[in-house]
Every structure is written in structure tokens, then in C-alpha cells.
Amino acid sequence: MSDLINYLTKIRFGVGAIRELSEELTALGIERPLIVTDRGLVAAGLITQMFEASGLSKDTAVFAETPENPTEDATEAALEVLKAANADGIVAIGGGSSIDLAKGVALLATHPGPLETYAAIRGGVAKVTPAVLPLIAVPTTAGTGSEVGRATLITLRNQRKLGFLSPYLIPRVAICDPELTLTLPPRLTAATGIDAISHCVETYLSPKFNPPAEGIALDGLERAWATIRRAVADGSDIEARTEMMAAALEGALAFQKGLGAVHSTSHALGGLKQYRLHHGTLNAVMMPPVLRYNAPVCEAKYAKMRVVMGLEPGTDLAETFTQLNRDLGLPTTLSEMGVSPDVIDEVSQWSFEDHSTATNPRPATAADFAAILKDAMG
């Protein structure tokens, strides 16, 4: 039996929790769910495993074309599958991309388009109503925390990766089963794990006043820092997998404080179609330069971070995170990811306009973002 948690939404957490999916569908009155996932999980047999464990009907509609970064086109394609199946709810199973795409589908299923109407920087937060189609999220990575988050990030046809925020976009139920992460490859375990850590760090550093969220973020950071190397080294370590899933959950539970420049830049870079850059890997690369930029106003909080990370007083956090990237086999610069300096001007402006910029602890202009990105180029 899983543990039951109620904080922002209902969370089923524990090994074997996927077996309780049918019960949650019934509780929400969902009779014809649409499954939103990706081809990789279908090929790996994880969707079949989920169907068997949860007792879903074999003729349940499935949309398995979620791209690496969710897009407006894919959202609209999934919406057509939902309509054709006359689905009355959605189950998203996968990483943050599948869950974010499912949120976009749940929104457009009950709200008129275009999607950009509801973007946070377009004044769309107040336009999202409680009518959003019910959604159950089943994460198969320990990273984004989208299963309990109020935001979805979707790349529009104009290459802008925009955030859509509303409490009505929080999934009605999150089913967090660490067993579903056991087959995640080391590289993805590392990149999604750093994503979880970046959420804990940035929500903690946000200047908004929210002590409970700060406590949750610090606990998530402590758990992830203690176990990420173990999870990457041995994917079958269920204890490490459980701790990483808990950390991912906590990072997202603290999202109400907002994020910061790590995410402003990774959102902007992630929208560049010519690169297809992984969000968690971008966060890993952007963390050190942003920590250097924020250092003048964050020393008191950096000191608390060092404590939960088990570091000596005065340890250089930026260099510590760079070394973590090396240890996990992740890139340490944008150049290693193939990013050209030619995009800096455009990405700097997009970063400045991103919704996460407002809660960076040190105010940043477009010129400041250009300097941060140049630092990240290596």
C-alpha cells in the first residue's frame, strides 16, 4: 500500500503505487482516459506493464508521440486523439515532457485556442478556469516534478518556449512509484536528477516569503545530493531511486516560490529547434554560472545549502556543481552541447522575458543574461 500525501494535490507515493491507478480513475469519474506517453516507454514495455498493473482496458486510447520537448503541434495532435476517443480524462505516464504535454491537452480540451493565449507572460494565468480536464500524472523519471506542479512548458511554433501557470493545471492525482524509474538509463538518471536539484536550489533561493516551501526545498536538496551518484551508478538501487523521486516531488512542491535564472535560460535555450537540447542537462550546465551571478546577494542561503549538502563552510558552490556534472558524465559548458555563441543575443532577450526571471534573487537585465550565457559557453 502506498503512502497518501495531500499537499497541493493528492499523491500516491511508494513502490507498487501504480496498482492504485484504477481506483483513482474511478474516484475522479474517468471512464474513458487518454494515455499520453512517448515511443520510448512503449518500446520499453513500460506502458504494457502499467496496463497490466492497473487493470486498464486494452482498447484504451494512447497518444505516444510526445517529443523530447513538448510542442504546440504535438499538443494539438494529442487533442485530436482525445476528441476521437471521446476521452473524459487523461493519464500522463513518462517524464516531464509527457506530463507537460498532457497539461496542455487538458487545457485546450476545455478552453478555446490558440494555446499562446494562456501563457503567463501573455497575461494568460487568469484565463485558465477550473474546467481543465482531469489529469492523473505518473512520472517515470525523478526530475521535473511536473506531477505536482502548476506549470507546463510548451514550445510554440514560433520557437518560444513559454510557461503556462495555473493551480488548475496541477494534476488531480500524482502516482509516484519508484519502481517505474528502475530502467531509466544512467545519463537520463543524471540529467533528470540535476533537474530535481535545480528546482530545490532555485525555489529555495527565490526571494519570495514562504518558509514551509523553503524547508521542503532544503530537504529535497539534502536527499538528492546524498543519493544522485548512487542512482546513476546503480539503477537497481531502489532506496536511491525512492530518495530521488522524493526529492523531485519536493522540488516541485516548493514551486510556489518561483524559480530563477537557471530556468529562465534553460527555457529560452530549450526552445531552439536546431539544437533539441534536454532541459535537465541545460539546468546542469547553467547552474554554476547562475550561482556565481547570484552569489553577491545569496551568501546566507548558500551557507545553509552547504550544511545540508555536507560541505565545508565557504566551499565554492558553483565549482561543486561543476564537479558534480563531471562525476555524472554530463557536459559542463554550452559549447559541449553544441550551442553557438551566435544565439546569445536572442536567448538573452528571451531569458529576460521568461516568467522565472521575476523570482531570481538578484535582478537580471538582458545584458546580465548575455554575460551569464557567455560564462556558460566555457
φ/ψ (deg, to 5) at 287: -60, -50
pLDDT of residue 8: 77
CATH 1.20.1090.10 occupies which residues in the chain?
184-377
The whole-angstrom separation of Cα 92 and Cα 103 is: 9
* Residue 14 CA: distances (Å) to CA of 72, 181, 250, 304: 33, 12, 15, 29
pLDDT of residue 49: 84
Per-residue 3-state assignment (H helix, E strand, C coil) for the chain = CCEEEEECEEEEECCCHHHHHHHHHHHHCCCCEEEECEHHHHHCCHHHHHHHHHCCCCCCEEECECCCCCEHHHHHHHHHHHHHHCCCEEEEEECHHHHHHHHHHHHHCCCCCCHHHHCHHHCCHHHCCCCCCCEEEEECCCCCCCCCCCEEEEECCCCCEEEEECHHHCCCEEEECHHHHCCCCHHHHHHHHHHHHHHHHHHHHCCCCCHHHHHHHHHHHHHHHHHHHHHHHCCCCHHHHHHHHHHHHHHHHCHHHCCCHHHHHHHHHHCCCCCCCCHHHHHHHHHHHHHHHHHHHHHHHHHHHHHHCCCCCCCCHHHHHHHHHHHHCCCCCCHHHCCCHHHHHHHHHHHHHCHHHHHCCCCCCHHHHHHHHHHHHC
Tell me how crowded residue 274 is: count the other CB atoms within 10 A of its CB: 10
Q: What pLDDT tens digit does each residue of the chain (378 aa) get?
A: 666 656 778 999 999 999 999 999 999 999 999 999 999 999 988 888 888 888 888 889 999 999 988 999 999 999 999 999 999 999 999 998 999 999 999 999 999 989 999 999 899 999 999 999 999 999 999 988 899 988 898 999 988 888 899 999 999 999 999 999 998 999 999 999 999 999 999 999 999 999 999 999 999 999 999 999 999 999 999 999 999 999 999 999 998 899 999 999 999 999 887 888 899 999 999 999 999 999 999 999 999 999 999 999 999 999 999 999 999 999 999 999 999 999 999 999 999 999 999 999 999 999 999 999 999 999
Question: Which one-letter amino acid corresponds to residue 197?
Answer: I
pLDDT of residue 71: 94
CATH 3.40.50.1970 for domain 3-180: yes
The topology (CATH level 3) of 184-377 is: Dehydroquinate synthase-like, alpha domain (1.20.1090)
Per-residue 3-state assignment (H helix, E strand, C coil) for 148-162 = CCCEEEEECCCCCEE
The C-alpha angle with vertex 210 and arms to 165 and 126, in degrees rounded to 5, equals 25
The whole-angstrom separation of Cα 353 and Cα 264 is: 8
pLDDT of residue 3: 62
CATH 3.40.50.1970 occupies which residues in the chain?
3-180
pLDDT of residue 2: 67
pLDDT of residue 196: 96
The whole-angstrom separation of Cα 161 and Cα 272 is: 8
HSE toward the beta carbon, residue 225, CA cutoff 13 A: 21
pLDDT of residue 248: 95
Provide the angle, in degrees to the nearest 10, between the axes of the packed helices 317-328 and 186-205: 160
- Do the strands 9-13 and 3-7 form a parallel or antiparallel pair, or are they unpaired? antiparallel
β-strand partners of 91: 35, 136
pLDDT of residue 5: 59
The whole-angstrom separation of Cα 378 and Cα 372 is: 11
The whole-angstrom separation of Cα 301 and Cα 226 is: 19
